Amino acid sequence: MRSEDGHNMHRWCCGLLLTFIALSSLWLQRAWCQSTDRTQFIDSAKKEGELVIYGSMNLRDANVLIGKFREKYPFIDVKLNRLTSDKLYARVISETRAGKFLADILENNALGLYFMKKSGLLAYYLSSEDRFYPKDFKDQGYWTTSNMNLHVTSYNTRRVARDQLPKKWEDLLYPAWKGKMMLNPSEQWFSWILQIMGRRKA
pLDDT tens, position by position, 41-84: 788 888 889 999 998 888 888 899 899 999 999 999 999 999 88
For position 130, what pLDDT does the model report? 87
Residue 63 C-beta-side C-alpha neighbours within 13 Å: 3
Domains and CATH numbers, the chain: 3-144 (3.40.190.10), 166-197 (no CATH)
For position 56, what pLDDT does the model report? 82
For position 67, what pLDDT does the model report? 93
pLDDT tens, position by position, 151-194: 778 899 999 999 999 888 889 889 989 998 887 766 667 777 87
d(CA 151, CA 188): 10
- pTM reported for the whole predicted model: 0.61
